[in-house]
Amino acid sequence: MRHAIRIGIIWVIVSILLIIGIAFVPIPAPASSEEGEGIHQTIYMLFYVGAPVFAFVWVTLIYGLVTFHARGPEPGAYVPLPETNTLLFLWAGITFVIVLFMAGWGTFTLHEITNPPAVAAQGQGTSTRSHPGTTSNSHKGGLHTGSVYTNGHPLNVQVIGQQWLWTFRYPSYGGFESKDLVLPVGGTVRFHITSLDVVHSFWIYQYDVKEDAVPGVENTAWMRARETGASTSSGKNWVNCNELCGLWHGYMVAKMDITTPVKFRAWANHMEASERASGLLKNLPPYAPVYFPQSNANFPPAPQDQSP
């Protein structure tokens, strides 16, 4: 019993020191968007819950190695300890409670970060701007094409992946395309993500956005940036591909700029006017949730729905 008391005291001390260390040592985790805040909290929660378990295992191991190593002559015959299930049930019960708690925490957090932000679900008023060829309140597939998050509407941005670059399309501004991702800070953004060839993964680490880009499939992700920021030479605020997609996968990146709403509108209006004047906007394919090249010897027909 005295060994158990000693282990318990040492375990409590080590656990407290570890928890204090976790509280003061910054853990790399994205928190530049409201969606990233949930992941940030979950990572810290995992450390806080795991620290006492980690401490108990190592304290018990080291204490046993130091205290119960062989001394002097060889010991006599081994005398088995009496069987008891108390410790077994105690450990199983503690583990069950921890797993149940983390499962509940993860379920609620996943719901928070994968569902539309509250502002995106509010307001279904008339758009404050529209473009030729688009309606004021809806587009193909029910996609709103109005202004930037006004009246509760999100800014829709289509993300198109292909080997080995990203293209971003803005249906709210005539459907112009850009190789750089520019977004307004504080605005609710809904990404519509697809691919032209193989599976890619749209990933912005600092803002905790990650969703697969699959040919023939439209996946969605939400983001509301909490701070401005542009891509840096150190690799911060870049759009990356997080799915091995071929030879140049590591170079499939795009610049990103989170700017003020006023600057964003000015940039978007300029891009739309420029591409419209050059004729590029006219020659782009009509907006669609997914895109496929014409079927030929190199490109088989698009996959068909095989459901009954």
| CATH number where 144 lies | 2.60.40.420
Torsion angle of C-alpha atoms 203, 219, 45, 62, degrees rounded to 10: -70
Q: Are residues 108 and 28 in the same domain?
A: yes
Q: Which residues pair with 178 in a beta bridge?
A: 168
Q: Are residues 164 and 212 in the same domain?
A: yes
Can you give the residue range of the structural domain that contains 151? 126-283
Q: 6 lies in a domain? A: yes
Q: Are residues 99 and 135 in the same domain?
A: no
Does residue 75 or residue 61 have the better pLDDT? 61
Q: Is the pLDDT of residue 280 over 70?
A: yes
Q: 79 lies in a domain? A: no
Q: Are residues 55 and 186 in the same domain?
A: no
Q: Are residues 55 and 141 in the same domain?
A: no
Q: 163 lies in a domain? A: yes
Q: 63 lies in a domain? A: yes
Rounded Cα distance between 17 and 19, Å, is 6
Q: How confident is the model at residue 28 (pLDDT cuts 50, 70, 90)?
A: low
Tokens 């670059």 belong to which residue? 165
Q: How confident is the model at residue 123 (pLDDT cuts 50, 70, 90)?
A: very low
Tell me, what DSSP letter sits at residue 163? T
Burial of 199 (0-12, 13-18, 19+ CB in 10 A): middle
Q: Calculate the average pLDDT of the chain.
A: 76
Q: Is the pLDDT of residue 96 over 70?
A: yes
pLDDT tens string 191-216 = 999 998 889 999 988 887 888 898 88
pTM summary value: 0.62
Q: 81 lies in a domain? A: no
Residue 90: predicted pLDDT? 81
- What's the start-to-end Cα distance of the chain, in Å? 66
Q: How confident is the model at residue 51 (pLDDT cuts 50, 70, 90)?
A: confident
Residue 307: predicted pLDDT? 45
Q: How confident is the model at residue 134 (pLDDT cuts 50, 70, 90)?
A: very low
Residue 101: predicted pLDDT? 83
Q: Are residues 56 and 95 in the same domain?
A: yes
Q: Are residues 7 and 108 in the same domain?
A: yes
Residue 181: predicted pLDDT? 93
DSSP 49-81: HHHHHHHHHHHHHHHHHHHSS--SSPP-S--PP
Q: 120 lies in a domain? A: no
Q: 158 lies in a domain? A: yes
Q: Are residues 202 and 226 in the same domain?
A: yes
Residue 200: predicted pLDDT? 93
Q: Are residues 181 and 269 in the same domain?
A: yes
Does residue 44 or residue 181 have the better pLDDT? 181
Q: Are residues 199 and 101 in the same domain?
A: no
Residue 137: predicted pLDDT? 33
| Order of all β-strands in the sheet with 155-162 | 176-178, 165-170, 155-162, 188-195, 219-224
Q: 296 lies in a domain? A: no
Instruction: Answer yes or no: are the C-beta atoms of 223 and 33 closer than 8 Å.
Output: yes
> Which of 120-124, 163-167, 218-222, 246-250 has the weakest average pLDDT?
120-124
Report the number of distinct structural domains present in the chain: 2
Rounded Cα distance between 156 and 172, Å, is 7
Q: Are residues 95 and 184 in the same domain?
A: no
Does residue 89 or residue 304 have the better pLDDT? 89
Residue 182: predicted pLDDT? 93
Residue 39: predicted pLDDT? 67
Q: Are residues 168 and 236 in the same domain?
A: yes
Q: Is the pLDDT of residue 235 over 70?
A: yes
Tell me, what DSSP letter sits at residue 276? H
